[in-house]
Amino acid sequence: MQSATASLGSTTTVLIATSSIKSGDIITDQLFSLRTLPRSAVAPTVLHVAQLGLVAQQSISIGELLTTTNTGTSATQQLQLPTGFRSVAVMPPAALPPMQVGDHVDIIANGTVLAADALVLSLMQNTTSAVIGEIVGVIVAVPAELSAAVASAAAIGDATLVVSS
């Protein structure tokens, strides 16, 4: 079993619903569990850490992965996605600079600015380590035409955020 799992490559931690969740329900720690899956089997939209104020945007069945498309945050902690933009979850490999919802960031990968002036829609909070509450990721709004490049860099852990003015 271990050799079969190893042949699938690196793994990642994901959030999986342990109870049926209705649209509009606040997602608490009791409604999901952390599981480790092969990275190759996980969509880029899957959540790896719980966000502060996470709310189901649609019904979520037991065993279903929590993603940026079936969840969101309450209106007080998340901005609306502007028309013509896409939301992308970014979990940089390094520490995040101080930021808050509504800030603007540049998204950089390999020394190249992939998206300038992206809007911070929400912050993802760590729930699994000794530093509970630490912000470990950000949901950003980027122009639709840049979303594929940003999502790709984010999926491989190569995206870095720089707060812009």
What is the rounded average pLDDT for all residues in the chain? 83
Assess contact for 137 and 124: CB atoms under 8 A: yes
What is the predicted pLDDT for the residue at 153?
93
Is a pLDDT exceeding 70 seen at residue 136? yes
- Among the listed residues 41, 37, 21, the one whose alpha carbon sits nearest the alpha carbon of residue 29: 21
Confidence of residue 130 (pLDDT cuts 50, 70, 90): low
DSSP letters, 105-116, are EEEEETTEEEEE
The second-level CATH assignment, the architecture, of 2-73 is Alpha-Beta Complex (3.90)
Tens-digit pLDDT profile for residues 68-112: 778 876 544 456 778 889 999 898 877 788 888 888 999 999 999
Q: Is the pTM of this model over 0.85?
A: no
Indicate the Cα dihedral angle 49, 146, 158, 155, nearest 10°: 40
Domain ranges within the chain, ordered by starting residue: 2-73, 85-164
Least confident residue range of 14-23, 86-95, 99-108, 132-141 = 132-141
What is the predicted pLDDT for the residue at 72?
75
Tens-digit pLDDT profile for residues 61-77: 999 998 877 887 654 44
What is the predicted pLDDT for the residue at 127?
61
What is the predicted pLDDT for the residue at 75?
41
